[in-house]
Amino acid sequence: MLSKENPTKGAERFPPGTRVSDASSGLKFISELGRSLLFTVHPKKVANVVANTILSGVGAEACAVAVKLQHIGLVCSSYSSVEDGPCDQFHKERFSRWLSLLPPQVSFHTENADEFFLNSEEHSFEYIAPIHIEGEVKGAIIVGFANADECTREIRQLIDAATQLTAMSINLTSHYEAALNTSIIEAKEEHRKFTEAVLDTLPVSLYVIDRDFNIVMWNRHREIGIQGMPRDEVIGRNVFQVLSKYPRGRLSQEFERAFKTGKIERIEQQTTDDEGATKHWLVSKVPMKDERGVVTHVITVGEDITMRVEAIHAVGRAEKLAAVGRLASGVVHEINNPLATISACAEVLESRVDEGVFGTSGDVEDLREYLGLIHSEAFRCKSITNGLLDFSRVRTGNRVAVNLSEVIRSSANLVSHQKRGDNIEIIVEVDDHLPLIKADEGQIQQAVIALATNAIDAMPDGGSLTFRTNANGRRLIIEIEDTGVGIPVEDMSRIFEPFFTTKEVGKGTGLGLAVCYGIITDHGGRLNVRSNLGKGTTFSIFLPLAH
């Protein structure tokens, strides 16, 4: 409960230790703070509201808001989680000296207790966000945490956004007498612009529609990117006209559910850009209600979760590769022995058929066909088990300094002599001045040739196969690019799984890409893929430089 000494009517109290961890809760935090400050008409009360709200909202140990105004003096309000209310734990003299010494213009932090503004033993880290009023630093919001890890990047962004809102409110309340002569419409417009500025700082794509499906808010992150559109071109327009690339039926159902149920709905989506890169999004539909509980608007928040999804897929692939490795180490040798016996017996019987031991009847030709099938299928099983052995072996290899350009030229030369596929143009674009990498040359070449072979198989009617190398910071990049049929979006997350293949039965084991993935991972690298149906596919190998 709020202390009776704290006049923060209208502010929502978050439970102690609560973290504002996602976009929707961060938006709610800023919205509640802004709503509370609308009814606050004195700088001291503004400081009380902000300090108390930030303390409970970010799970800090202590928080203080201090501002030095010309016609009022030093206004300070401090709160502690231990005392659960207002406290007198602020070094006013130290803060005044700090203001007089031209403090930094941007937010900063300290772990030096001798520099702390909060006189609390419960915290070991302070984050200080200066309050700018009319272009000058007039004060600061100081938040104390038990340790530095609790002050995450998201928490800092939230405190900075709250600081901007605080500066605006203090500036307005400190000129309250002058504001009485100002039009209410102008004040609301100023607040609206500031609220838009705060929403623009959130690291998510956000827009708001009303009950007529017209767009009333469109933040900056929704303007940028391939699918972004300028704010001036969308405000006031129907959302279905603006987002015409999306299936209207599905989008309409999502909005109608939000208006009807009033419940938050989260949907995972994925998109593919013009270069074939896949992006994963978590889209949240957040209903806004009036004082009667009627949904008046729906907020749509889009968060880029590509890195999270790719990390989950990588963990899944690693677990499957490990499982296949354990399977291979236990049974592959036992399978190879009977396969060798079956193959040898088939060869002996084939030689006897050729010698005429079984005569010349029509059944002999059937026997010859069946023996050929037995021999070829046994050989196919042998190739599968050999592929399985690649998972059970530890790929230490001979790791030496390797010239990547020479490896690519050699691989391209070998592929060109395979005579695999018709009308294939091989292009080699390598940089002869690349730094060296520490790797097993044979294993890297095996991975490159396997990717190139797959690329040729994806171009049954011919096309171009490009080998490319370049450097990017501390990594070297190999690209194998084709102009083939491409990979369907639904298969992108499975192409590195063992035994997954889109080829016809008998034309692929589904182990080639999985082996490549294992080789590159063992070298401390990364294997990525971009693909556009009907345009082609690019596999990218990222390898660390040699120390």
The model's pLDDT over 9-47, given as tens digits with 9 standing for 90+, comes to 334 444 444 456 566 777 888 888 888 888 777 888 899
Cα–Cα–Cα angle for 498, 504, 509, nearest 5°? 30
Q: Which two tokens stand for residue 145?
A: 């945490």
**What are the b/e assignments for 483-521, b being 16+ CB within 10 Å?**
bbbbbeeeebbbbbbbeebeeeeeebbbbbbbbbbbbbb
Q: What is the pLDDT of residues 278-306, one digit of tens each?
A: 777 788 898 998 888 899 999 888 888 87
**pLDDT band at residue 514 under the 50/70/90 scheme:** confident
Q: Of residues 519 and 380, which shows the higher confidence score?
A: 519
What is the structure's pLDDT at 2?
Answer: 31
Contact call for residues 486 and 379 (beta carbons, < 8 A):
no
Q: Which two tokens stand for residue 235?
A: 């405000």
Distance separating alpha carbons of residues 57 and 29, to the nearest angstrom: 7
**CA–CA distance, 151 with 464 (Å, rounded to integer):** 51
Tokens representing residue 210 in the block: 């009303």
475, containing H or E segment: strand 475-482
Long-range contacts of range 97-101, CB-CB < 8 Å, 24 or more positions apart?
Answer: 99/68, 99/137, 99/138, 99/139
> H/E element holding 211?
none
Neighbours of 89 (CB within 10 A): 20
Encode pLDDT of 220-274 as tens digits: 878 776 567 888 888 888 888 888 777 778 888 888 898 998 898 888 877 766 5
Rounded to two decimals, the pTM is 0.42
E-only strand ranges, 231-383: 265-272, 278-289, 295-304
521: Cα within 13 Å, side-chain hemisphere: 16
Q: What is the mean pLDDT of the chain?
A: 80
Residues 399-409 have a mean pLDDT of 88
